[in-house]
């Protein structure tokens, strides 16, 4: 690995001036990402892309910047890969823009850039455009990162939160709440140990696998901020359909359940960064479930419910003891700066 020239030093305002230090810092980034497009240092990357294009953006302000299972850099790369994947796109190129606080250690910047490079390489995407800004001490909390991304959508694929249809089976790719609880445990002082790690991971691989077995996937969504409950509510509203899920089908790790019970949180509202829900016509649902389970990211996949005729725009949960309740969107704020 190429070391940053000024590892050991701190970020100065001059690193954001556009002058010599900016230039040197950017050269360090370029060396790290080893990318001929980025190396041209033009105002835009020029790319060859064929077909329908997917385009997305997300800013990451997670606090703390390091947490069990990841850091802000890994989160920023995987998050944008996942947003592209959720319209069925194959992610190709990312941009990365960092807003850095004056005095931030350059060694930490290097660690985060390394983490981004590794995440991009694992997911087979390239970081082709970048930007850095420096803000005076106190004007920003350590570092924020924006990633935007583009990918291509194969013909025949039409996935949208507005495409849920009555009869669709709802498949969840794995356990919920891991990311939110990992962040919480890194932030608060607990009297006990939790081994919960963030599930931050790229979902482009699993999406590719399930699209191979069914082109009829209607909806894909990664339940990030607001958790599974909010994601399902958004889909119910955008598709104008009712949703029913069975609580006991939803996989939740023991560690996550324990922390939630102790603090009065519902895992259904806790953020995830490496899970998805798929809405699939019943006919294709077992094929998709099996394809998910074969993928490393979908070993614990479950059919958790279906799209129903009644209660349009609403989500109903059936509980183990035969009761049911309306599952609302998250209201208020549980955990600020989760991503």
Binding residues for a second copy restricted to 217-276, rule: CB under 8 A: 221-222, 224-227, 230, 234, 238, 269, 271
DSSP code, position 192: S
> Does 330 engage in binding with a second copy (CB under 8 A)?
yes
> Does 41 engage in binding with a second copy (CB under 8 A)?
yes
Q: Give the relative orientation of helices 72-85 and 204-213 as an angle to the nearest 10 degrees.
A: 20
**How many of the chain's residues bind a second copy (CB under 8 A)?**
87
The distance of closest approach from Cβ of residue 149 to a second copy in the complex, given in angstroms and rounded to an integer, is 8
19/310 with CB nearer a second copy: 19
| Per-residue exposure over 97-136, b if at least 16 CB sit within 10 Å of its own CB, e if not | bbbbbbebebebbbbbbbbbbebbeebebbbbbbebebbe
Say whether 58 sits in a helix, a strand or coil: strand
> Does 12 engage in binding with a second copy (CB under 8 A)?
yes
Q: In what helix (H) or strand (E) does residue 143 lie, and over which residues does it extend?
A: strand 143-153
| Structure tokens, 213 | 């077995």
Sorted by sequence, the CB contacts under 8 Å of residue 236 that are 6+ apart come out as 164, 242, 243, 312, 313, 314, 315
The distance of closest approach from Cβ of residue 51 to a second copy in the complex, given in angstroms and rounded to an integer, is 9
> Does 208 engage in binding with a second copy (CB under 8 A)?
no
The distance of closest approach from Cβ of residue 320 to a second copy in the complex, given in angstroms and rounded to an integer, is 25
Instruction: State the Cα–Cα distance between residues 262 and 186, nearest whole angstrom.
Output: 16
List residues bridging with 126 in a β-sheet: 93
The distance of closest approach from Cβ of residue 126 to a second copy in the complex, given in angstroms and rounded to an integer, is 11
**Which range touches a second copy (CB under 8 A), out of 126-134, 182-190, 298-306, 316-324?**
126-134
| Structure tokens, 56 | 């997305």
List residues bridging with 170 in a β-sheet: 279, 305
> Does 336 engage in binding with a second copy (CB under 8 A)?
yes
Among 2, 49, 262, 263, binds a second copy (CB under 8 A): 49
> Does 23 engage in binding with a second copy (CB under 8 A)?
yes
The distance of closest approach from Cβ of residue 212 to a second copy in the complex, given in angstroms and rounded to an integer, is 20
Instruction: State the Cα–Cα distance between residues 285 and 304, nearest whole angstrom.
Output: 11
55/190 with CB nearer a second copy: 55
List residues bridging with 149 in a β-sheet: 56, 94
> Does 311 engage in binding with a second copy (CB under 8 A)?
no
**Which range touches a second copy (CB under 8 A), out of 80-88, 205-213, 241-249, 303-311?**
80-88
The distance of closest approach from Cβ of residue 46 to a second copy in the complex, given in angstroms and rounded to an integer, is 5
Say whether 303 sits in a helix, a strand or coil: strand
Length of the chain: 339
Among 10, 31, 121, 133, binds a second copy (CB under 8 A): 133
The distance of closest approach from Cβ of residue 135 to a second copy in the complex, given in angstroms and rounded to an integer, is 5
23/124 with CB nearer a second copy: 23
């Amino acid at each position: 690995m190429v070391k940053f020239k000024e590892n050991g030093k701190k970020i100065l305002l001059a690193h954001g001036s556009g002058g010599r230090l900016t230039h040197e810092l950017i050269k360090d980034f370029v060396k790290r990402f080893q990318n001929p497009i980025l190396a041209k240092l033009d105002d835009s990357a020029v790319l060859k892309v064929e077909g329908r294009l997917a385009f997305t953006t997300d800013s990451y302000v997670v606090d703390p910047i390091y947490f069990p299972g990841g850091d802000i850099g890994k989160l920023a790369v995987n998050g944008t890969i996942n947003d592209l994947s959720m319209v069925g796109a194959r992610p190709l190129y990312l941009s990365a823009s960092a807003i850095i606080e004056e005095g931030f250690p350059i060694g930490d910047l290097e660690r985060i850039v390394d983490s981004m490079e590794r995440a991009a390489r694992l997911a087979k995407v390239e970081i082709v455009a970048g930007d850095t800004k420096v803000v005076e001490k106190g004007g920003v909390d350590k570092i924020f990162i924006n990633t935007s991304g583009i990918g291509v959508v194969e013909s025949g694929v039409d996935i949208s939160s507005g495409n849920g249809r009555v009869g669709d089976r709802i498949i969840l790719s794995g356990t919920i709440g891991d990311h939110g609880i990992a962040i919480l445990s890194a932030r608060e002082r607990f009297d006990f140990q939790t081994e919960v790690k963030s599930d931050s991971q790229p979902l482009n691989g699993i999406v590719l696998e399930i699209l191979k077995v069914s082109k009829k996937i209607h909806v894909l969504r990664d339940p990030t901020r607001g958790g599974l409950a909010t994601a399902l509510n958004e889909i119910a509203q955008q598709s104008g359909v009712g949703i029913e899920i069975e609580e006991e089908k939803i996989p939740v790790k023991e560690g996550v359940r324990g922390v939630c019970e102790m603090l009065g949180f519902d895992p259904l509202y806790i953020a995830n960064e490496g899970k998805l829900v798929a809405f699939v016509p019943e006919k294709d649902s077992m094929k998709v479930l099996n394809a998910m389970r074969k993928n490393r990211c979908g070993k614990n996949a479950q059919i958790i419910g279906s799209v129903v005729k009644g209660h349009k725009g609403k989500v109903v949960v059936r509980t183990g003891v035969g009761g049911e309740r309306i599952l609302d969107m998250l209201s208020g704020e549980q955990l600020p700066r989760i991503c």
